[in-house]
Structure 1
């Protein structure tokens, strides 16, 4: 285990990764003492990390006290895809006003990881606005969707082609045409939010049984 980070950063990074990977299943209680023992830390940095993750929307306050890992049911997953679409659209409109026809260079396309490729393109669009408020909002929603993105390939078999279309449209088409492709990208996922949320729960149940 790496020891070159301060205890807070170590706890934050570990807990965030465990939530994103599904090692902390949706709705599962996050036991401060257990996490502190696992990381060989005191409970203080773990509590501070959980407070930060609560602000990111990755953990929620439990009714009985403490925290539970974020659970994205169908409605919550759909809402976040819709919000993600809105934030990317704001980025497109902001860049058009400030840059005109000039576009930020697209990141390198990697077909082996199409979910990540699309994410990197959206990240570039949002980051290139220079708007910190927009960036913070997008990063929060995107972080909450990371677990869902991890199962998209189980439902959608054409993610590589879809990502190629996104990249080609960004490079070759007018802003309005690209915006329409981005809209369809998100609408597809919002419409499938129930199936995607069910796949996350199924994966977590399978991992828990192993």
Structure 2
């Protein structure tokens, strides 16, 4: 059987997507039996996938056993955005030292999906630096920020223009100009980390209240 269809890979891909999309709310336990039933798998590949995702920082071991999904509070979100910006800055410096004025070609820009377009640009920059430690750190942090990135358009009304400006700065501007644009991009999100974390928390509560049989504040079934 092809590797991308084996039970572990199926569970890993599904769980990662559900955590990063917010389908599995932040700070909530992951019920292994429920996920196995949803995927029509045994519990073994689901447990193996959760152990792997723990290494990615997307789930954490619960004190009572099992796993809970990552919840980024404002302080942690600020730290993650700052770290991602630093990884990109280091990759840019490595590329400049190796290539001089030349730059790896930018990926195609999709105005219909500005967030993923920025993600592809940043990923290309870090990957092209050829430093595995740098890439692993960047990939881990980017995965943890994926859910907040999905919520950014609810807070910022210019994400398409911002993404296009970044793309154009990378393609056409001096290296220092793009480095500064990247710094501003992350500084904006560091400043908004509390609001983004609050949006994620509110989204979690909305999904909790929508679950069938969930008890309301008066103790009766909602």
2:197 corresponds to:
197
Match of 1:20 in 2: 20
Partner deviation per Cα, 1:84-127 (whole Å, 9 max, x = no partner): 00100011001001111110111111111111111111011011
Alpha-carbon shift at residue 143 of structure 1 (Å): 0.4
Residue 52 of structure 2: aligned partner: 52
Q: Work out whether 1:84 is the aligned partner of 2:84.
A: yes
Which structure 2 residues correspond to residues 22-171 of structure 1 after superposition, within 5 A?
22-171=22-171
5+ long unaligned stretches in structure 1: none
**What SS does structure 2 have at the residue aligned with 1:102?**
coil
Q: In structure 1, how many angstroms separate the alpha carbons of the residues matched to 2:166 and 2:128?
A: 17
Whether 1:206 aligns to 2:206 is yes
Distance, in Å, in 1 between the alignment partners of 2:22 and 2:167 is 29
Looking at structure 2, the residues matched to 12 and 172 of structure 1 have their Cα atoms a distance apart, in angstroms, of: 39
Deviation per residue, 1:145-200 (Å, 9 max, x gap): 00000110010001111111111111111111110110000000011000001111
- Structure 2 length-normalised TM: 0.90
Per the alignment, residue 215 of structure 2 pairs with none
Tell which structure's C-alpha radius of gyration is larger: 2
For structure 2, list consecutive stretches of 5 or more residues without a partner in the other structure: 211-222
Report the Cα distance in structure 2 between the residues aligned to 1:145 and 1:171, rounded to whole angstroms.
25
Distance in 2, Cα, partners of 1:117 & 1:23: 22
* CA apart distance, 1:39: 1.5
Alignment partners' CA distance in 1, 2:134 and 2:122 = 12
Q: Alignment RMSD, CA only?
A: 1.3
Deviation, structure 1 residue 206: 2.1
What are the Cα deviations for residues 6-31 of structure 1, in whole angstroms up to 9, with x where unaligned? 11001101111111111111010012
1:187 — aligned with what?
187
Normalised by the length of structure 1, the TM-score is 0.95
Q: Distance in 1 between matches of 2:55 and 2:197?
A: 22
SS of residue paired to 1:87: helix
